[in-house]
Each structure stands twice: as C-alpha cells, then as structure tokens.
Amino acid sequence: MESFLSKHWQKRALFMSNALQQLQPAITRNELGWLATLEDVESRLVFAERQDGRCRYRVESGPFDSATLSNLPKRDWTLLVHDVEKHIPAMRALFNIVPFIPHWRIDDLMVSFAAPGGGVGPHLDNYDVFLCQGIGVRNWHFTEQELPTDPLASDDLSLITEFVGTEIDAVEGDILYLPPGTAHWGTARRACMTYSIGMRAPEVADLAYALNIPTPDEGALYRDPDLDASEAVPGWVSDAAANRALALLGLPSNRRDQVSTALGRFGTENKDWLKPDGTSPDETKTWLAHLLAGGGLEVHGMSQIAFDGRNLFVNGVCFPLPPESGAVLKEICADRQLSRSKKRDPKLTEMLAFLLTQGAFEIPEKVRPYVK
Ligand code: SIN
Ligand code: CO
C-alpha cells in the first residue's frame, strides 16, 4: 500500500494481476439491467459499430425499457451504470479495495457489462480510477503517451486515436489503476463486467471562487500525489489535504481553516439528481427523539459525510462540531450507521437534528421510532 501510494498514486499506471481472489460483493447482469431502467439512475449504452476496417462509437442514454435491454445484439455493445453504490448501498463495500484513499476523494462506483467486442473506445479520464475486473475477460490497452483526439470515432464521446501501448487481458480479480489523463481502451474479449472505482477532486477554480479569491490555475484539479495512508481515516478531511489546497491556491496558512471547509463542502457535494431528502420538521422531532433514546438508523446510500477538526460536512453543507461528538462521527463515517446504543448525550441534539434535516439517514417507512 505504501509503495502503491509513493510509486503509482497520481503518477503511474499499475496493473495488479490477481489483486483479489474474487470481486465481492458483485451484481449480476440482470441487476445492472434493472438499475438501467430506473429514472434517477445514470446509465448509457455504447454501441461499437465496425465498418470498413474502422470503429465508430454511438451512445444512447438511459433509462432504458426492459424490452430494449433484452433485445440487444450478441456483440459490440456495453451498458454502463454510474453511482451504483448510491442505489445499492451494499456495493459500497467494494471501496474497501482502496482503504488507503480518503472517502471524500472517491466519487462513485460505475459498473459496466460488455458483450463480446463491447467497450467505450480509446479515451482519457480526468480523475484517477481503479478498474476492477469482475466476471469475463477484458482486453486493455493503456499508455502515458499523449495522443490526439479522433473526431471521426464518435459524435457522442470524446475519443482519442486508437493505439497499442501496454496490452493486457484482465480476468476476475485483476485491477488496473490509472492516474488522471492516462489513455486507455478496454474491449471485452468475452462478455465481462468491470467495476470502476472513480475518484473526485475539486477544481481549484471552484475552491478559489468559494474563498472569494482570483483563480490561480484555470482548469487545474486538487492533487495529492504525496497522499499518505494515515490520512484515510473514514470521513476525515486531513490537515495535509488542507495544506495541499492552500499551496494550490497560493494562500497563507492563516486561511487553512477556510480552505479545509471548502474542501469538506466540495468533497461531500451530491450530484443534483442524487440528493437524499431531508426530514420534515415533524419527522425531525420524531427521529431525533429516537436517536437520543438510543435508537439506530442507517446512513442513506446517497449521503456523503466528512469532517475536519472543526466541522461536520453533510451533502455539501457544514455544521460546527459539538464537543464529545467523536464516537458518533466515527460510527457514522466508518460503519455508515448509528447502531442501537444507550441513551445519547443531549449535547449531540443539534448535530443529530442537522444530520436528519440534511438527509444523512435512511428513514425507515415501516419501523416505528424507538423510545426507551
Ligand atoms: C468500462 O467499464 O467499459 C469503461 C471504463 C473506462 O474505460 O473508464
Ligand atoms: Co475510462
């Protein structure tokens, strides 16, 4: 892990053959198809159309009806579903594959199913990604070389010219790590599923805007090539992260707290269509009494929670941490739940109410609030 961080993280690609015995938990092709029929799930079908010795890629956006999904051709298409862990919270366990990455740096789990010959074509991504191979075999080409875009390859995707680079066949349990901007191109040799753990990094310009200072570096993203595994405490926005952002923004250390707040807010912001509903005033009253009495609740699958030394961040909104909140914070961030316990400290009342109103918890429809 230490050697991965120092030699590869944000620096160089790495193919890890047999990194896992089996990819667990996994989802089936049918479950992926079902997700792709849902309104609030972002999904795409990409068709690789081969003609006259070249390939063009065409994209259709979901949701799809089940008839479309069950009548697809035998070859040359892939179905991609984004933010799978937000819709099926158990899939978040796959993030344990990268325990050395701080939570707020992880964006989503994208899962693809590709029929033989399927793939999204040669391209670059702006963020680091761990491409974890599930069932089947995927042929990958990747290179750190700079390659020109190929406008003829697709009207829908921004693709680069085909290339050879390093070529490998990934089978179940293999992981390909790619830093931002590494050209890659994956094609299913046999029908296959690929689980992509994709990172997020705030834009330096967005941080500058939030701090009301001129943008020093248009287009640049937060970077942490010197990331240390000790920073990956569940939910924590480390002091080192704030120091890196200070340096990228060219700000003095007396603005560290503000920079850390901006990181926490951007690091927990939800995509517009993936915002959990907060509780109404009546629900807040009921469920707050439940939590204070020692009742349990699960963290909502779409909820993003982080903290630094001063604040709690929930779905892009910040709240000052009360004293004695450490154990509750730890449980929420590490276990994504508050389990049944003895009565909770009334000093936590406002923080728990904030969590409820920001949609941090999944509010059960059938279970009655628990009052001792
Ligand atoms: C895929 O799963 O087909 C796409 C992954 C990627 O190339 O980023
Ligand atoms: Co990619």
Instruction: Write down the domain spans for the chain.
Output: 2-199, 204-268, 274-357
Q: What is the pLDDT of residue 217?
A: 79
Q: Is the pLDDT of residue 273 over 90?
A: yes
Q: Is the pLDDT of residue 370 over 90?
A: no
Any alpha helices (H) in 9-166, and if so which ranges? 29-35, 66-70, 84-87
Element spanning 153, H or E: none
Single-letter amino acid, residue 199: M
Q: Whose CA is nearest to atom 5 of ligand 1?
A: 196
Cα(187) to centroid(ligand 2), Å: 12
Any alpha helices (H) in 148-299, and if so which ranges? 204-210, 239-249, 256-267, 281-292
* Distance from C-alpha of 356 to C-alpha of 361, rounded to nearest angstrom: 6
Q: Which residue has the higher pLDDT, 368 or 317?
A: 317
Nearest ligand, CA 121: 1
Q: Kindly tell me the burial class for residue 212, based on how many C-beta atoms sit within 10 Å of its own C-beta (0-12, 13-18, 19 or more).
A: exposed
CA distances from 51 to 54, 121, 124, 153, 280 (A): 6, 15, 24, 11, 56
Pocket test for ligand 1, best of 189, 196, 199 (most atoms within 8 A of CB): 196
Cα(99) to centroid(ligand 1), Å: 22
Of residues 192, 187, 197, the one with CA closest to residue 134: 192
Cα(78) to centroid(ligand 1), Å: 9
* Percent of residues, the chain, with pLDDT higher than 70: 98
Cα(173) to centroid(ligand 2), Å: 18
Q: Which residues contact 349 (CB under 8 A, 6 or more apart)?
A: 288, 292
Residue 46 Cα: closest atom of ligand 1: 3
Beta strands in the chain (DSSP E): 14-16, 43-51, 54-61, 77-81, 106-114, 129-133, 137-143, 166-170, 175-178, 183-190, 192-199, 297-299, 305-307, 311-314, 317-320, 337-338, 361-362
Q: Which of 153-157, 236-240, 259-263, 316-320 has the lowest mean pLDDT?
A: 153-157
174-219, pLDDT tens digit by residue? 999 999 999 999 999 999 999 999 999 999 999 999 999 998 878 8
Query: Rounded to two decimals, what is the model's pTM?
Result: 0.96
Q: Is the pLDDT of residue 372 over 60?
A: no
* Distance from C-alpha of 138 to C-alpha of 160, rounded to nearest angstrom: 19
Sort residue 129 into left (φ over 0), alpha (ψ -120 to 50) or beta. Answer: beta
Cα(114) to centroid(ligand 2), Å: 14
Pocket test for ligand 1, best of 131, 142, 143, 160 (most atoms within 8 A of CB): 131
Which residues have any ligand 1 atom within 6 Å of their CB?
Answer: 78, 112, 114, 119-120, 125, 129, 131, 184, 186, 194, 196
Residue 129 Cα: closest atom of ligand 1: 8
Nearest ligand, CA 197: 1
Q: What is the pLDDT of residue 22?
A: 87
Structure tokens at 119: 């793939």
Q: Whose CA is nearest to atom 4 of ligand 1?
A: 120
Residue 95 CB-half CA count within 13 A? 26
Sort residue 52 into left (φ over 0), alpha (ψ -120 to 50) or beta. Answer: left
Q: Which residues contact 74 (CB under 8 A, 6 or more apart)?
A: 115, 116
Residue 125 Cα: closest atom of ligand 1: 8
Domain 274-357 has CATH 3.40.366.30: yes
Single-letter amino acid, residue 244: R
Cα(236) to centroid(ligand 1), Å: 29
Strands 166-170 and 137-143, by their bridges, are antiparallel
Nearest ligand, CA 185: 1
Q: What is the pLDDT of residue 1?
A: 72
Cα(123) to centroid(ligand 2), Å: 6
For the 2-199 domain, the top CATH level (class) is mainly beta
Q: What is the pLDDT of residue 215?
A: 86
Give me the residues paired with residue 164 across strands. Answer: none
Sort residue 101 into left (φ over 0), alpha (ψ -120 to 50) or beta. Answer: beta
pLDDT band for 2, please (50, 70, 90 cuts): confident
Q: Is the pLDDT of residue 96 over 70?
A: yes
- Its sign, for the CA torsion 84, 226, 258, 250, is negative
Nearest ligand, CA 124: 2
For residues 356 and 279, is the Cβ–Cβ distance under 8 A? yes
